[in-house]
Amino acid sequence: MNDQLPDDLTCWQYLEHAASVVFKQFGYHEIRLPVVEKTELFARSIGQATDIVEKEMYTFLDRNGDQLSLRPEATAGVVRAMLQHGLLHNAIQRVWYTGPMFRHERPQKGRYRQFHQIGVEAYGMAEAELDVEVISMTSQLWRKLGLTGVKLEINTLGSPESRVEYREALVEYYQANRDSLDADSLRRLETNPLRILDSKDKAVIELNKSAPDVIEYLDDASREHFERVQLLLEKLGISYIRNPKLVRGLDYYSRTVFEWTTDKLGTQNAICGGGRYDSLVEKLGGKSTPAAGFAIGMERLVELLTIEKLCQNRKRQDVYIVQTSEAALEIGLSLAMEMRDAGISVISNIGSTGFKSQLKKADRSGARLALIIGENELQTNTVTIKLLDNGKQYTVSIENLLTDVSSYLENTE
Ligand code: HAM
């Protein structure tokens, strides 16, 4: 679990801002939910036989003896809330969320016990257009962030009915090849055979090369759905690869699943995962309601943005005011208010009165401009503007200051 320090947070805020703008552009509204839910909610939705529920949840009894868990993900809680507040009845809903999630995993780079997601969920639309909408939201976000080189992998898991048949075929195949299975896969063979497909064990990876492909077991409707998803992605120019081994680690998915991966982050290479989950609402007590969504792992995306140098200069302040007397301080304070009203960020020097030490502080603050109000300036009703990037300085009259500062800030990066 990590502290998030001011220096790190500039990149986070940049990402949060960009995502909230894109989500809003697609008609999604923010929803905020508790981080604690009944354990049973996660067991029922994510699935009893998943790693998350079997061994990763922070679960405890509260003072009433209720069994609760810190949320390991947000989809289950969103469905619970939508049902509880009657938001799904004959309604199309599009929501987004962000916040901390908790999984007791083995900590390593890109895998933490408290991590953060930003994601969306949409309800009431069974069409392939929705799958493509949520995928294109992510691709629009990458564009807004300037991120290139990330890969989209997609797959289909078919309908729950067709999956029964597929599951049987897989079990048969793995039974016939038991010798190549490691202990983990042997266990999964009993509980969750689909997960053997994304095993990281060498022998199992080899075995998986000839494993039955879900595509052969799809019902017609699921096949058409998947074909339409691919067609629309192609029309939108969103490149993808079909990964028949992509099964996702949560049980609620049906039909389309997807992940965005990068080769810049080592083994924890998925920055976003999602898909369709048409049966979950009904399973949690609502009327059958189709749904789809995704969640972005923010630690991983921030790391990637940092590696790609896409977060630089985000921390910059606009202005630092240097003032060397009581009279200058008074003018400086009111100029600062005026500039902030105009949307400029201004740090007003507090404390040390020495000119040099104030300029040093201005430099360290990350400001782009220092505004100096010394004795000369006071007498001539002027302010000296020092460009902290290159040390150049010039003097302007107080009346022209706001226009000058604004146009400098607008016209330079
Ligand atoms: P997920 O694949 O479990 O899906 O998580 C989504 C993303 O969260 C992952 O791709 C990864 O970037 C990040 N993530 C997961 N675990 C960790 C961790 N321990 N440390 C750091 N980052 C992590 C879900 O959670 C689904 N609820 C997504 C979804 C929404 N599907 C439909 N709607």
Which of 96, 250, 260, 262 to mutate for ligand 1's pocket (most ligand atoms within 8 Å of CB)? 250
Atom 13, ligand 1: residue with shortest CA distance = 297
Atom 30, ligand 1: residue with shortest CA distance = 294
- Asked if residue 105 lies in contact with residue 297, where contact means CB atoms within 8 angstroms, the answer is no
Statement to judge: residues 239 and 329 lie in one domain? no
Statement to judge: residues 75 and 105 lie in one domain? yes
Within-domain flag for 167: no
Is residue 112 within 6 Å of ligand 1 at its C-beta? yes
Task: Kindly give the distance from the C-alpha atom of residue 251 to the centroid of ligand 1, in angstroms, as a whole number.
Answer: 13
Instruction: Name the nearest CA neighbour of 327 among 271, 376, 365.
Output: 376
Statement to judge: residues 91 and 236 lie in one domain? yes
Statement to judge: residues 283 and 252 lie in one domain? yes
Statement to judge: residues 286 and 384 lie in one domain? no
Statement to judge: residues 324 and 303 lie in one domain? no
Task: Kindly give the distance from the C-alpha atom of residue 368 to the centroid of ligand 1, in angstroms, as a whole number.
Answer: 38
Q: What is the pLDDT along the chain (413 residues), one digit of tens a residue?
A: 999 998 889 899 999 999 999 999 999 999 999 999 999 999 999 999 899 999 999 999 999 999 999 999 999 999 999 999 999 988 889 999 999 999 999 999 999 999 999 999 999 999 999 999 999 999 999 999 999 999 999 999 999 899 999 999 999 999 999 999 999 999 999 999 999 998 989 999 999 999 999 999 999 999 999 999 999 999 999 999 999 999 998 999 999 999 999 999 999 999 999 999 999 999 999 999 999 999 999 999 999 999 999 986 555 789 999 998 999 999 999 999 999 999 999 999 998 778 999 999 999 998 999 999 999 999 999 999 999 989 999 999 999 999 999 999 998 86
Which of 286, 307, 328 is the last residue before a domain boundary?
A: 307
- Asked if residue 198 lies in contact with residue 187, where contact means CB atoms within 8 angstroms, the answer is no
Q: Provide the CATH number for the domain around residue 403.
A: 3.40.50.800
Statement to judge: residues 232 and 334 lie in one domain? no
Strand-pair partners of 319: 346, 369
Closest ligand 1 atom to residue 113 Cα is 19
Which of 246, 281, 307 is the last residue before a domain boundary?
A: 307
* Count of domains observed in the chain: 2
Distance CA 29, CA 94 (A): 6
Task: Kindly give the distance from the C-alpha atom of residue 297 to the centroid of ligand 1, in angstroms, as a whole number.
Answer: 6
Is residue 47 within 6 Å of ligand 1 at its C-beta? no
Statement to judge: residues 79 and 224 lie in one domain? yes
Task: Kindly give the distance from the C-alpha atom of residue 73 to the centroid of ligand 1, in angstroms, as a whole number.
Answer: 7
Statement to judge: residues 323 and 251 lie in one domain? no
Predicted confidence at residue 317, as pLDDT, reads 86
Statement to judge: residues 10 and 142 lie in one domain? yes
Predicted confidence at residue 391, as pLDDT, reads 92
Token pair recorded at residue 56: 């990763």
Which of 273, 307, 341 is the last residue before a domain boundary?
A: 307
- Asked if residue 268 lies in contact with residue 108, where contact means CB atoms within 8 angstroms, the answer is yes
Is residue 96 within 6 Å of ligand 1 at its C-beta? no
Give the structural domain span for 121: 6-159+219-307
Predicted confidence at residue 140, as pLDDT, reads 97
Task: Kindly give the distance from the C-alpha atom of residue 57 to the centroid of ligand 1, in angstroms, as a whole number.
Answer: 14
- Asked if residue 232 lies in contact with residue 128, where contact means CB atoms within 8 angstroms, the answer is yes
Q: Provide the CATH number for the domain around residue 233.
A: 3.30.930.10
Q: Which amino acid is at 284?
A: L
Statement to judge: residues 295 and 325 lie in one domain? no
Predicted confidence at residue 313, as pLDDT, reads 58
Within-domain flag for 181: no
Phi, psi of 101 (to 5 degrees): -125, 160
Predicted confidence at residue 68, as pLDDT, reads 98
Statement to judge: residues 16 and 121 lie in one domain? yes
